[in-house]
A and B are shown apart, each in its own frame.
Chain A
Amino acid sequence: MLSLKKRGALSMQISNFARGFFDSSSPLVPVALPSQRETHIWYIVPDEVQNTSLLNQYLKLLSSCERESMFRMSGDKLQKSSLLARTLVRTTLSRYTNCQITPRSFKFRKNTFGKPEIEWGHYEEWSPPALHFNVSHTSSLIACGVTVDKLVGVDVEEKQRKIKNDILSFARRYFSLHEVEHLHAILDPEIQRQEFIKLWTLKEAYVKALGRGFSAAPFKTFTIRFRATRSDGLQVPTDLISEASEILVEAFDDPKSLSNNWQFGLLELANSHYAAICMEKENILEGKGNDFMKLKVWKTLPFVEDEYVSGTNAVKIICGLSQCLHL
Chain B
Amino acid sequence: MATVYATSVKFASSLKHSVGDYKLTGRTSTLRLVSMNWTKNGFPSLRSSRFRVCCAAKPETVQKVCDIVRKQLALSPESALTPESKFSDLGADSLDTVEIVMGLEEEFGINVEEDSSQNITTVQEAADLIEKLVQKKSEA
Question: Interface of A with B (CB < 8 Å)?
Answer: 52, 55-56, 59-60, 64, 67-68, 71-81, 83, 137-139, 157, 161, 163-165, 169-170, 173-174, 200, 204, 213-215, 218-220
Contacts and interface: CB of A to CB of B under 8 A. Distances in A.
Given A64-B19, A139-B91, A52 B24 contact: yes
Nearest to A76: B26
A72 B118 contact: no
A81 to B, nearest CB: 8
Nearest to B111: A173
Most buried by B among A71, A80, A213: A71
10 contacts: A59-B24, A64-B19, A71-B22, A71-B27, A73-B91, A75-B28, A76-B24, A79-B26, A214-B118, A215-B118
Contact of A157 (B22, B95, B114): B95
B94 A214 contact: yes
Contacts of B89: 72-74, 78
B interface, how many residues as a size bin? 20 to 34
Contact of B16 (A64, A71, A174, A218): A64
B39 interface: no
B30 interface: yes
Contacts of A68: 15, 29
Given A75-B26, A165-B99, 11 more contacts: A55-B24, A56-B23, A56-B24, A59-B24, A64-B19, A75-B28, A79-B26, A79-B28, A173-B105, A174-B102, A204-B94
A200 B95 contact: yes
Contacts of B23: 56, 59
Interface string B111-130: 00011011000000000000
Top-7 shortest CB links A-B: A218-B114, A215-B118, A215-B115, A76-B26, A78-B91, A71-B29, A74-B90
B71 interface: yes
B55 interface: no
Contacts of A72: 28-30, 86, 89
Nearest to A221: B114
A220 B26 CA distance: 40
B35 interface: no
Contact of A59 (B22, B79, B80, B118): B22
Contacts of A55: 24
Nearest to A173: B102
A213 B118 contact: yes
A74 B30 CA distance: 11
A170 B93 contact: no
A193 to B, nearest CB: 13
Contacts of A83: 24
Contacts of A214: 94, 114, 117-118
